[in-house]
Copies of this chain bind each other. A is one copy, B any other.
Amino acid sequence: MNSPTFTHVKCGDCPIRHRAVCARCNADELEELDAIKYYRTYEAGQTVIWAGDPMNFVGSVVSGIATLTQTMEDGRTQMVGLLLPSDFVGRPGRDGAAYNVVATSDIVMCCFRKKPFEEVMARTPHIAHRLLEMTLDELDAAREWMLVLGRKTAREKIASLLAIIARRDASLSQGGPQAAMIFDLPLTREAMADYLGLTLETVSRQMSALKRDGVIQLQGKRHVTIPDMVRLMDEAGDDSDGGMLM
């Protein structure tokens, strides 16, 4: 997870070139973005932005994982988004940050000062359209998560989270269609709890239960094997087809 120096990467060579907000841009448009972008790195555990603080940039996660969280005065916190490479941070046209952004691993971000980015976006429909598309996807993810938070049991919540991570990893690593899925959890038990609206003790208990019941296998605390994806989807309470067509 060592971050290569991203100080001089050309947009054309960027690893998230085809998924980020710039995905639809042509060479000229990329040139424009290239001219105003800059990289920033954050270490694991570091807070990128505090909710409510003024925010003078927007940007994309290039590598690593970050979380979007909301907190109540008494400390209860809820994760409202998981930021993976290519995900966009910040909202054009708003000054303050709405959520805390915290680096879960070391991360590299491709940033734009907000004003110049807004200007480029205003005259570049390719960017605006891509941002709309990404925002609609995030809205869908948020709504799917509302069902998880509102109506699923603790066991189903854990299974749902594992299924989502497994499927994401599968779509990246392009493994065989039905191969047993293996991945490392990018989240601590506490982060999982904040994602799922549970306590970390309950997360731990349900992980143990799923292991005991053979739904998952654990090597160490974080390395997970899913012997039967259909079984896991079943435990998540999801219709077991939906995931097959990707």
The answer to whether A139 has its CB under 8 Å from any CB of chain B is yes
Cα of A138 to Cα of B141 in the assembled complex, Å = 12
Alpha-carbon gap, A72 to B125, bound state (A)? 38
A77 beta carbon closer than 8 Å to chain B: yes
Contact of B237 with A151 in the complex, beta carbons under 8 Å: no
> Does A147 sit within 8 A of B, measured CB to CB?
yes
Give the segment of A101-109, A126-134, A179-187 that binds chain B.
Answer: A126-134
Rounded to whole angstroms, the CA-CA distance of A135 and B134 in the bound complex is 10
Contacts of A149 in B (CB 8 A): 146, 149-150, 197
Closest Cβ of chain B: how far from A127's Cβ, in Å?
Answer: 10
The count of identical subunits is: 2
* B146 x A80 contact (CB < 8 A): yes
Distance in angstroms between the alpha carbons of A132 and B237 in the assembled complex: 32
Q: Which residues of B contact A147 (CB under 8 A)?
A: 70, 72, 78, 80
**Chain A interface, DSSP helix/strand/loop, else mixed:** helix
A91 at interface by CB-CB < 8 Å = yes
**Would A76 and B151 be within 8 Å (CB), given that A135-B139, A146-B142 are in contact?**
yes
Size band of the interface chain A makes with B: 35 or more
Assess whether B91 is in contact with A136, with CB atoms less than 8 Å apart: yes
Tell me if A119 is interfacial: C-beta within 8 Å of chain B. Answer: no
Q: Does A93 sit at the interface, judged by CB under 8 A?
A: yes
- Please determine whether B132 and A80 come into contact, CB atoms closer than 8 angstroms: no
CB of A227 closer than 8 Å to a CB of B: no
**Chain B residues near A150 (CB, 8 Å)?**
78, 149, 196-197
Q: Is A31 interfacial (CB 8 A cutoff)?
A: no
Closest 5 CB pairs of A and B: A150-B197, A80-B143, A149-B149, A142-B142, A78-B147
Given contacts A68-B143, A138-B139, A142-B142, 19 further A-B pairs with CB under 8 A are A70-B144, A72-B147, A74-B237, A77-B151, A78-B147, A80-B143, A80-B147, A98-B140, A98-B143, A99-B143, A128-B132, A132-B132, A135-B136, A142-B143, A142-B146, A146-B146, A149-B150, A150-B197, A151-B197
